[in-house]
Amino acid sequence: MAGQYTVRVVDESHVAPPPGSVSTTTIPLTFLDVSWIFCCPIQRIFFYEFHRPTLHFTQNIFPHLKQSLSLTLRHFFPFAANLSCSPPPNNPCILYREGDSVSVTIAESDADFNHLTASHARDNTEFKCLVPTLPMASFSSDTTHVVPIMAMQFTVFPNSGISIGITFNHVAADGKSFNHFMKSWAAMHRSEKGSSLSLPFHNKDMIKDPEGLVSTYMKDWWNWKILGATEEVPVDTVRITNDADQPGAAQLHISTFVVTCAFMWVNLIKLQDSSKSNGHLHDDTVYHFVPVADCRDRFEFPVPATYFGNCLAFLFLTAKRSDLIGKNGIVFAAKAIGRQICELEKGPLVGAEKWVLNLIKVVEAGRVVSVAGSPKLRVYDTDFGWGRPKKSEVVHIGANGAFSLAECRDEDGAIEVGIVIGRDKIDGFNVIFKQALNLNF
């Protein structure tokens, strides 16, 4: 375990789209955006090998990174904008005004880059210093609250690596749109202006809302008694990543995603249950699993793959403790998850009027596991010209039982899983996960 280290701020600046390139614009939010308005900010870090001193980064690399970021923000301008939350019953919106920008910090760290980018348990606080913080959306009866959508931090680990830590409000974009932005920026930085990446598609009229779900969701959020409260990640936590191979025998016609999620759901609840403060548990105690599905090719109306914003359907699964903890718990969970994914074929918006109420319900009930990221987002293809990332981490996991998924960097078809657990649960993790996987970490 690495000891304490320091992160020193070297420079603070802002990057905006090129002057005059984007007009002042009000971007309405669809119901698919509004469902995320009280989600904690998304925080992701990309680590790259970089065997040069900090001065080389600040003098030679950073000016070009800023320029390519500015040119990319011209097309992905909502990331430079602000979320504007007017008093109810006005709906929130994203407001871009000429000059709006992304706050960009450069820092230098004396942490051990190789330790941070390994897969064994690492202190979670070491990662929080590598991403900027952003305020959450908030509403009051008399004032409009305006919060930035995105901030970023470059951290140089002299002569060993750099990290790009990005925090953004999920209300602006889902994983697919964010990774489209990152890959476009990386391609721009590599000066591949003629790259095959297409521009983001900004027409929100694509997302039809005949039932008025934006109003339904905002009313549900405003009515939530603990408005704005989200579960904090416990302070003393560690993060662990592990690569899992593809499932072998296809006795059940299910995917890598389904098997991985079933495994994680069952074993994470075993880990949660090992906590002394978890109250009385019985066979009928109910557990929740909330994955999401990208809907860009799942609606009966066409939505381009490059659609910018949120286009995710929530899946809500519940299961009794006796079904999940038993000998065939993982098979039970896999069948349940696989069934929910098949249900998407009936239309991803079946039951959508209850999504926000369901989210509030499961967060209040606790005993929930959720998923961030996806192997389909191909985070390890984000190459600024320094090679593939050595590691990518989702920092915000830990709240609401979230674990992260990505494609495995070095093995086709394998999947990388990230979790954050209390330090007091490491022994329990070793017993539950290592035995279940029968792997050496």
Return the biggest CA–CA distance within the chain. Answer: 63
**Is residue 255 involved in binding ligand MLC (CB under 6 A)?**
yes
Exposed/middle/buried for residue 289 (C-beta within 10 Å: 0-12, 13-18, 19+): buried
Of the candidate residues 39, 130, 134, 372, the single one contacting ligand MLC (CB under 6 A):
372
**Is residue 130 involved in binding ligand MLC (CB under 6 A)?**
no
46: left (phi over 0), alpha (psi -120 to 50) or beta: beta
**Is residue 294 involved in binding ligand MLC (CB under 6 A)?**
yes
d(CA 261, CA 268): 10
Tokens (6 digits) for 414? 């394998």
Give the amino acid at 87. Answer: P
Of the candidate residues 51, 361, 376, 378, the single one contacting ligand MLC (CB under 6 A):
376
d(CA 369, CA 401): 4
Tokens (6 digits) for 217? 């969701």
Question: Rounded to the nearest whole angstrom, what is the least distance from the CB of residue 78 to ligand MLC in the complex?
Answer: 15
- The binding track of 323-362 with respect to ligand MLC, each residue x by CB under 6 A or -, is ------------------x---------------------
DSSP β-ladder status, 150-157 and 102-109: parallel
Give the amino acid at 354. Answer: K
**Is residue 181 involved in binding ligand MLC (CB under 6 A)?**
no
Cβ pair 371, 261 in contact under 8 A = yes
d(CA 389, CA 409): 8
- Residue among 19 and 302 whose Cβ is closer to ligand MLC: 302
**Is residue 42 involved in binding ligand MLC (CB under 6 A)?**
yes
Beta bridge partners of 28: 93
Cβ pair 206, 307 in contact under 8 A = yes
- Residue among 152 and 292 whose Cβ is closer to ligand MLC: 292
- The binding track of 135-174 with respect to ligand MLC, each residue x by CB under 6 A or -, is ---------------------------------------x
Number of residues that bind ligand MLC (CB under 6 A): 20
- Residue among 360 and 402 whose Cβ is closer to ligand MLC: 402
Residues numbered 81 to 110 that lie near ligand MLC (CB under 6 A) are none
Give, as one character, the DSSP assignment of residue 300.
S
The answer to whether residue 170 is catalytic is yes
The answer to whether residue 383 is catalytic is yes
Question: Rounded to the nearest whole angstrom, what is the least distance from the CB of residue 378 to ligand MLC in the complex?
Answer: 11
Looking at 33, 100, 170, 294, which residue is catalytic? 170
CB half-sphere exposure, 377, CA atoms < 13 A: 22
Of the candidate residues 148, 175, 398, 418, the single one contacting ligand MLC (CB under 6 A):
175
At 163 the three-state DSSP class reads strand
Of the candidate residues 75, 176, 239, 391, the single one contacting ligand MLC (CB under 6 A):
176
Q: 44-62 burial string, b = 16+ CB within 10 Å, else e?
A: bbbbbbbeeebeebbeebb
Of the candidate residues 69, 85, 292, 336, the single one contacting ligand MLC (CB under 6 A):
292
Of the candidate residues 158, 373, 389, 398, the single one contacting ligand MLC (CB under 6 A):
373
Site for ligand MLC, rule CB under 6 A: 42, 44, 174-176, 178, 255-258, 291-294, 312, 341, 372-374, 376
Active site residues: 170, 383
